[in-house]
Amino acid sequence: DIVMTQSPDSLAVSLGERATINCKSSQSVLHSSNNNNYFAWYQQKPGQSPKLLINWASTRESGVPDRFSGSGSGTDFTLTISSLQAEDVAVYYCQQYYSTPRTFGQGTKVEI
Amino acid sequence: EVQLLESGGGLVQPGGSLRLSCAASGFTFISNAMSWVRQAPGRGLEWVSGISGSGDSTYYADSVKGRFTISRDNSKNTLYLQMNSLRAEDAAVYYCAKVPSEAWNDAPRAFDSWGQGTLVTVSS
């Protein structure tokens, strides 16, 4: 199974400041046949179900603000919130969909 | 608009059974693989099971293999999870999630829509 490890477990960021979350996979999720990273970021706000923010490591879903960006390839990935807003308070999860079982990171709690 | 509505959760004794349902609307159900993901209270997300659009292929986490069965009725646009031999560690909110491809392994995709979840409590 591919193990996903996020860091940090939690972080507090001032409004308008940058938040950076890292995720490392135990093996590469880059598919050599198409050069795609089978990697996603989800946001789960308090009391809500998860929401897909970014897939293919760097492609924002429709409607996701452009202050959210994803980067990385292979085994190391980053989610950046360029200017934190109050509505961004949430737990963020990374996930690989390269293989079954699909696996998630343990989550990173972002607070103001 | 995609809607996924889970039901069937509740309180069950250890060793008991429960069947969860997920009613889907707003998309062509048979064209999408589906999945169940659970979240224990205060914990992270854990993938449980997946199924192809046709229902021919099913996949399970080791933690539930042999006890849980995923299925779908494409005529009713409904996904199911039959849970047997339930344990305390199965207690969680169970979410159904949509995969934007028919196949599970041939065209892997992230989970692009999630339901609101249904709570399963396992206790005597």
SS3 A86: helix
pLDDT, position A9: 97
Average pLDDT over chain B reads 97
Q: Are B83 and B77 in contact (CB under 8 A)?
A: no
Residue B105 has pLDDT above 90, yes or no: no
User: B interface toward A at CB cutoff 8 Å?
Assistant: 35, 37, 44-47, 50, 59, 61-62, 95, 104-105, 108-117
Look at B50 and A104 and tell me if their CB atoms are within 8 Å: no
What pLDDT digit, counting tens, does each position of A47-77 carry? Answer: 999 999 999 999 999 999 999 999 999 999 9
Q: Report which DSSP code applies to A13.
A: -
All residues at 6 or more sequence positions from A85 whose CB lies less than 8 Å from its CB, including other chains: A15, A67
SS3 A88: helix
Look at A104 and B111 and tell me if their CB atoms are within 8 Å: no
All residues at 6 or more sequence positions from A73 whose CB lies less than 8 Å from its CB, including other chains: A30, A37, A57
Chain-centroid distance of CA A105 in Å reads 9
Q: ∠ CA(B99), CA(B105), CA(B109), 5° rounding? A: 35
Residues of A in contact with B62 (CB under 8 A): 101
pLDDT band with cut points at 50, 70 and 90 for residue B107: confident
What pLDDT digit, counting tens, does each position of B40-69 carry? Answer: 999 999 999 999 999 999 999 999 999 999
Q: Mutation target for B interface from A96, A100, A102, A109: give the one with most B CBs within 10 A.
A: A102
Calculate how close chain A gets to B73, using CA atoms only, in Å: 23
Look at A106 and B105 and tell me if their CB atoms are within 8 Å: no
A68 lies within 8 A of chain B by CB: no
Amino acid letter, B86:
L
What pLDDT digit, counting tens, does each position of B31-43 carry? Answer: 999 999 999 999 9
Q: What is the residue-wise DSSP string for chain B?
A: --EEEEE--EEE-TT--EEEEEEEESS-GGGS-EEEEEE-TT--EEEEEEE-SSS--EEE-TTTTTTEEEEEETTTTEEEEEE-S--GGG-EEEEEEE-SSS-SSSS-----EE---EEEEE--
Residue B106 has pLDDT above 90, yes or no: no
